[in-house]
Amino acid sequence: MSTTEQRVAVVTGAARGIGAATAVRLAAEGRAVAVIDLDEAACKDTVEKITAAGGRAIAVGADVSDEAQVEAAIARVVEELGAPTILVNNAGVLRDNLLFKMSVSDWDTVLNVHLRGSFLMTKAVQKHMVDAGFGRVVNLSSSSALGNRGQANYSAAKAGLQGFTKTLAIELGKFGITANAVAPGFIATDMTAATAARVGMGFEEFKAAAATQIPVARVGEPDDIANAIAFFTGEAAGFVSGQVLYVAGGPLD
Ligand SMILES: NC(=O)c1ccc[n+]([C@@H]2O[C@H](COP(=O)([O-])OP(=O)(O)OC[C@H]3O[C@@H](n4cnc5c(N)ncnc54)[C@H](O)[C@@H]3O)[C@@H](O)[C@H]2O)c1
């Protein structure tokens, strides 16, 4: 591929929240974007935002934890947009509970979406990156990877993604492929709004309480994360690989 050709990016969980902001940001950087989420119709808003701004995007429905759906989704991306060389593994779910109350199904759901989903997507996309001699993988970890009450499943998955990222960096580096993880702190999305509802707090009150614990004295917005992902997926970031960047308004780890 010549460097003037448009690169194709796949962003999972891009119907809303961090994934939607990332899809819009990567399109603004000149990428053609496959907006993937569970429900194709739910991707329409993100796709319309991109096309209204003059970008190229398609909506693709797929469950990232299902091997056949992932393969079909990437085949569609290749057919309709071209071979993908940028992948953002962002799709995610929460099933919070204290360990003694956590069901096996809550454990499996979270591990399947985050870890199995990122594995399946990366496996499906990497061959196109190897062919192109260029690739950028960004996995969404979390500050919860460092441990968080009520999130044994989620913290294990998000810590697992950090190990996965580092191994991808080691295995795929010689093909011009980098792999990095972005680990957000508190970001205002439907995910954190659902957590507020679960603990019986209004979202504004919940965000204000969270902000008191954050050095920059505010919670994050999806664009704060999209910005870090834009850096890692950039043409100039080819010597940055295997890193975990906490984007949390202050130091962590
Ligand atoms: N919001 C935060 O504070 C925060 C903090 C740290 C990490 N993260 C991570 O960032 C990512 C995005 O979070 P968000 O806050 O935007 O969440 P969100 O709940 O607003 O959006 C997640 C999206 O993923 C999609 N999704 C869920 N399961 C899927 C599956 N099996 N296949 C395809 N799509 C699926 C959902 O439909 C949804 O559109 C997640 O990986 C999350 O764990 C979020």
CATH architecture assignment, domain 8-185+225-245: 3-Layer(aba) Sandwich (3.40)
pLDDT for the residue 4: 63
**How does strand 135-140 pair with strand 32-37?**
unpaired
pLDDT tens, residue by residue, 4-25: 689 999 999 999 999 999 999 9
Percentage of residues in the chain with pLDDT exceeding 90? 98
Q: Where are the domains of the chain?
A: 8-185+225-245, 186-219
Tell me the three-class secondary structure of the chain, residue by residue.
CCCCCCCEEEEECCCCHHHHHHHHHHHHCCCEEEEEECCHHHHHHHHHHHHHCCCCEEEEECCCCCHHHHHHHHHHHHHHCCCEEEEEECCCCCCCECHHHCCHHHHHHHHHHHHHHHHHHHHHHHHHHHHHCCEEEEEECCHHHHCCCCEHHHHHHHHHHHHHHHHHHHHHHHHCEEEEEEEECCECCHHHHHHHHHCCCCHHHHHHHHHCCCCCCCCECHHHHHHHHHHHHCHHHCCCCCCEEEECCCCCC
Among 12, 18, 35, 112, residue to substitute to test ligand 1 (most atoms within 8 Å of Cβ): 18
pLDDT for the residue 1: 47
pLDDT tens, residue by residue, 218-229: 999 999 999 999
The pLDDT of 80-88, averaged and rounded, is: 98
pLDDT for the residue 86: 99
Which residues have a catalytic role annotated? 154
Instruction: Please list the residues that pair with 108 across neighbouring strands.
Output: none
pLDDT for the residue 97: 97
How far is it, in rounded angstroms, from Cα 112 to Cα 128? 24
pLDDT tens, residue by residue, 20-71: 999 999 999 999 999 999 999 999 999 999 999 999 999 999 999 999 999 9
Answer for the pair 44, 59: CB distance below 8 angstroms, yes or no: yes
With cut-offs at 50, 70 and 90, classify the pLDDT of residue 253.
confident
Among 40, 45, 90, residue to substitute to test ligand 1 (most atoms within 8 Å of Cβ): 90
Q: 65 in ligand 1 pocket by Cβ < 6 Å?
A: yes
Name which residue sits closest to atom 36 of ligand 1, judged by CA: 13
Give the nearest ligand 1 atom to 143 CA. Answer: 6
Q: 70 in ligand 1 pocket by Cβ < 6 Å?
A: no
